Structures are given as structure tokens and as C-alpha cells.
């Protein structure tokens, strides 16, 4: 019987290209959709702007300057003992407009050097092909993922990078948090995943499902293609898992939570089983939705099942049928209400370590496929103390309690888990706020919402703690 995590467990950390790199117009890179998302700094809410606008602040443009400082950062990751490092490839570094025939060699070279740097320390790159970005030109010219042509553009991009890096990168994921599009009433979420502002569409929900169909087909084709290029490649999907509990044992709450959970399972069902489950086909029929599909799509979905499920886990939500439609201050689902058994972060994210064990079990029971926690973490405002250090014991407490539950899922329950990469292992630009002040890192970056700062790196208290966690394979928490 297992008593510990497996020896080859992939401990590491996670970021995404646009949240760390900066250098947004360097090395031949074209503008991407995240480059036109203003940051929330200077009293301006994060906004989808129509091209780079004077007067707006775009924190992504500099991010934390990883583009120029990655060697220093990777040396720090190696010092913590990382076995893997998750980041994404910025599509518009490889195809600046997205519809060219030939890739941009300077962009390819950048990732070659980045992966070589990781590999020389024995750190496995874990790569997301699409982490909330795509060339902006594909949005202006083609309307984003509404357009089936995006499948071909994405395949061309994927083919180039899968072939080029097949001997450097074994672990891949297709679309980051693909299920965020279900949250289409918040324009930012749909836009980052697809380049479409669903609230401006005549039939927003139907349009969202059309976009998803294109992405499911693209994901399946990438899995097939990747395996044909090199059968060793492991290509996963990536789902944001916020487990939805019924607020009470009132059968209406239980029923509502079950229905709401389908909006997570849909993504696992299509990616891992290779077909649309009956509940969604029934919903489309009931609502009169007509999702355009090609005759070959059914076979493609079946032939391109993902190898593993990458998931992010930050919080759980409790749902009350009566609260549906009521606005709540909580980050979450329609109908979510404060759960009296858990506490929330300053951003209303309800902290629930046991929910991680529950989630891992739910997914493993349903799919019996390996899981990979590729995001988990605690966003907080870190303030240097009088001694100049960041004493982020609150972050250590969050991560410790989640790792404890993760271990129970693996050791006590038998869940097959590939690894754990906490989000924002180095401070980076927060996705939802577009600001620096919501920090997750073990490494502090001296950069601030008003644009000031030197980009200097410093170890937080959690740095040494996580180093010990990895060195002991999760025994010393």
C-alpha cells in the first residue's frame, strides 16, 4: 500500500506567458488579445480595449519582465527543487497575426532557449498551448473562435511547436480553463478564452457553445497530431474546477448543484470520453440551439481524447436554489452563497482544502484517468515587514492545508495524480484584476500597480518552506 507520494511526482510551479513575460512587441511578436486588456490600475477597471489606447495602462506589456530575466528566475526555481515548470507559449510570438504560413523564427528561438535553460536543471517544461490568448488579428479579422477557420490556424501553430519542441517538452495542455466560457455573462472570461464578447452577440449562449465546439474539435485534433508526431507526448485538457456544493439538504439545492456541476463535467466528458453527453444535447434541443458541426467531427472527438486532466483549484462554492439570480459579492456561480464552514480570501474566493480532495475524487471516479493539479494558490497583498522580508505565513498555511488534502486523495483514496504546480510561483500580473498587487509567488517581484518598481526578485518566507516540501516529497509540511 502507498504511504507516500510517488517518487516521480512532479512538484513545480505555474505561470502563463502573458502574465510574466512582458516584451509584448519584441522579437517580432504581434499583439495578442491580452495586450489590449487594460490593467485595473490607475482607477480604471480592467477593460477590453479596441487596440492599444492612449491613457490606458496595460500591465501585461511589461509583466514581470520574464522575457529578459528568465535565467535568473529559473535558477531560483531550481533552488526550490522544481521538477517541472508550467508556462504557455504566446501564440503571437510564433505567428504574430495568426494567419501567416511561416512562423516567426525569433519567437521559436526564445522558447528553445527557455526550455534548454529549464532542462539543464532537470526541470520538465509543462506547456499550455492556449492560455487566455491568441493573436489579436484573429479577433479583428475573423471574429475569434466563432469562426471555424480558427481551428486550422490553431492546428498550424500547434503543429509547428509540437514538432519543434517534441524532444524538449513531453507534457502539454490544449486550452487553459476552457470552461471559463460558461461564465459568458462576464465579458472578460469569454473574451480571454475565445476572443468573442458574448454579451454583444445576438444569441450569446448558443454562440458560446459554437465556440466551444470549435475548440473541442481543435483540442482533439491537436491530441491526435501530437501522438502522431511523437507517441511519447502526453497531451491533456485543462479545466477550472470549482466544486459546487448544495447549500443545504433541501432537494432543490441538491438538484440545482447537480445541474450546475454538469457545466464542469461537460468539459471532462467531451475531452476524456470523446462525445457530447446526453444532458447537453438535450439542453440544446430544449433551447432550440443549432450548433454547426462537420460530418467528421464525431470521429475526431472520439479519436482525440486527452491523456490527462489538468485542473486549477482555488475554492469551492455553495449553491442555494433560492439565491439564483441574486447578485452576491462572492466570486462564483449564479446562486452561490457564503458557506458558513469556510472562510473567504479578500477577493471572496472561498478557501476549502477538503474541497480539493473531494474534487480529485470526483474527477478520478468519473474518468479513471491521471490528474494534474496545474494551479492552486493564495492571492494576497504582500507587504515587506520591518526586516524587509515578506513573511507570507498565510500563503504557507493555504498551501500546506491543500497539500495535506491532496496527499489524502492520493495515498488514502488511490487517485492517480501526476503533479502539483502552485499558481504564480513568481509574482505576476493577476488575470482578473490586471494588477500586480494580488500576489501568489514564492518569489517577490518589486513591481507595483502604479507602474513603479525595479523588477528585482526576492525570496519570501514561503520560498524555503516550499523547498523543504519538495525535498521531502511532501513529507515535511
- Using CB under 6 A as the criterion, which residues of the chain lie in contact with ligand BGP when the complex forms? 16, 19, 176-177, 240, 312, 375, 379, 423, 430-433, 438
- CB of residue 432 to ligand BGP, shortest distance in Å: 3
Reading the block at residue 414, the C-alpha cell is 488511490
- CB of residue 169 to ligand BGP, shortest distance in Å: 19
**Closest alpha carbon to 10 in 408, 224, 310, 441:** 310
- CB of residue 247 to ligand BGP, shortest distance in Å: 24
DSSP for 336-376, written as a single string: EE--TTSEE-TTS-EE-HHHHHHHHHHHHHHH-S-EEEEE-
- CB of residue 364 to ligand BGP, shortest distance in Å: 22
Spatial strand order of the sheet with 317-319 comes to: 244-246, 317-319, 336-337
DSSP-derived secondary structure letter, 52: S
Reading the block at residue 172, the C-alpha cell is 502539454
Of 16 and 63, which has the nearer Cβ to ligand BGP?
Answer: 16
Give the bridge partners for 426, in sequence order.
443
**Closest alpha carbon to 109 in 98, 124, 93:** 93
- CB of residue 16 to ligand BGP, shortest distance in Å: 5
Of 221 and 421, which has the nearer Cβ to ligand BGP?
Answer: 421
Of 46 and 137, which has the nearer Cβ to ligand BGP?
Answer: 46
**Which candidate in 100, 159, 375, 416 is catalytic?**
375
Of 192 and 208, which has the nearer Cβ to ligand BGP?
Answer: 192
Residue 138 near residue 98 (C-beta atoms within 8 A): yes
Annotation says 375 is catalytic: yes
Of 375 and 392, which has the nearer Cβ to ligand BGP?
Answer: 375
- Compute how many other C-beta atoms are within 10 angstroms of the C-beta atom of residue 475: 12
Residue 446 near residue 454 (C-beta atoms within 8 A): yes
- Compute how many other C-beta atoms are within 10 angstroms of the C-beta atom of residue 77: 22
- Compute how many other C-beta atoms are within 10 angstroms of the C-beta atom of residue 262: 14
Residue positions annotated with a catalytic role = 375
Amino acid at each position: 500500500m502507498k504511504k507516500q507520494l510517488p517518487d516521480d511526482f512532479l512538484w513545480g510551479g505555474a505561470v502563463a506567458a502573458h502574465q510574466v513575460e512582458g516584451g509584448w512587441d519584441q522579437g517580432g511578436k504581434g499583439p495578442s488579445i491580452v495586450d489590449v486588456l487594460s490593467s485595473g490600475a490607475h482607477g480604471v477597471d480592467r477593460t477590453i480595449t479596441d487596440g492599444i489606447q492612449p491613457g490606458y495602462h496595460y500591465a501585461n506589456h511589461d509583466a514581470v519582465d520574464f522575457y529578459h530575466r528568465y535565467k535568473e528566475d529559473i535558477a531560483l526555481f531550481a533552488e526550490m527543487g522544481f521538477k517541472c515548470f508550467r508556462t504557455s507559449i504566446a501564440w503571437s510570438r510564433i505567428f504574430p497575426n495568426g494567419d501567416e504560413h511561416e512562423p516567426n523564427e525569433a519567437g521559436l528561438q526564445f522558447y528553445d532557449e527557455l526550455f534548454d535553460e529549464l532542462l539543464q536543471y532537470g526541470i520538465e517544461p509543462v506547456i499550455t498551448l492556449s492560455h487566455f490568448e491568441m493573436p489579436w488579428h484573429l479577433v479583428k479579422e475573423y471574429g475569434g473562435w466563432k469562426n471555424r477557420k480558427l481551428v486550422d490556424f490553431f492546428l498550424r501553430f500547434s503543429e509547428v511547436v509540437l514538432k519543434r519542441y517534441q524532444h524538449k517538452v513531453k507534457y502539454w495542455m490544449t486550452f487553459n480553463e476552457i470552461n471559463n466560457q460558461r461564465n459568458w455573462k462576464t465579458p472578460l472570461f469569454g473574451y480571454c478564452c475565445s476572443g468573442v464578447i458574448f454579451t454583444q452577440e445576438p444569441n450569446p449562449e448558443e454562440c458560446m457553445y459554437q465556440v466551444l465546439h470549435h475548440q473541442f474539435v481543435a483540442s482533439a485534433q491537436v491530441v491526435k497530431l501530437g501522438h502522431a508526431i511523437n507517441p511519447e507526448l502526453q497531451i491533456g485538457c485543462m479545466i477550472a474546477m470549482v466544486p459546487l456544493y448544495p447549500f443545504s439538504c433541501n432537494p432543490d439545492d441538491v438538484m440545482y448543484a447537480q445541474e450546475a456541476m454538469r457545466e464542469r463535467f461537460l468539459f471532462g466528458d467531451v475531452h476524456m470520453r470523446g462525445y457530447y453527453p446526453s444532458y447537453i444535447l438535450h439542453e440544446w434541443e430544449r433551447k432550440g440551439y443549432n450548433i454547426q458541426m462537420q460530418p467528421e467531427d464525431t470521429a475526431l472527438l472520439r479519436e482525440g481524447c486527452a491523456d490527462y486532466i489538468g485542473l486549477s483549484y482555488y475554492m469551492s462554492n455553495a449553491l442555494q436554489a433560492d439565491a439564483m439570480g441574486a447578485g452576491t459579492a462572492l466570486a462564483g456561480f449564479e446562486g452561490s452563497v457564503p458557506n458558513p464552514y469556510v472562510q473567504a480570501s479578500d477577493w471572496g474566493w472561498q478557501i476549502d482544502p477538503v474541497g480539493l480532495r473531494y474534487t480529485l475524487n470526483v474527477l478520478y471516479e468519473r474518468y479513471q484517468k491521471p490528474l494534474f493539479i496545474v494551479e492552486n494558490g493564495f492571492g494576497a497583498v504582500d507587504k515587506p515587514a520591518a526586516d524587509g522580508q515578506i513573511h507570507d505565513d498565510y500563503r504557507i498555511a493555504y498551501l500546506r492545508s491543500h497539500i495535506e488534502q491532496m496527499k489524502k486523495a492520493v495515498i488514502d483514496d488511490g487517485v492517480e495524480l501526476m503533479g502539483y504546480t502552485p499558481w504564480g510561483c513568481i509574482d505576476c500580473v493577476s488575470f482578473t484584476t490586471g494588477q500586480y498587487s494580488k500576489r501568489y509567488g514564492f518569489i517577490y517581484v518589486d513591481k507595483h500597480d502604479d507602474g513603479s518598481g525595479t523588477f528585482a526578485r526576492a525570496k519570501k518566507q514561503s520560498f524555503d518552506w516550499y523547498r523543504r516540501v519538495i525535498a521531502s516529497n511532501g513529507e515535511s509540511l
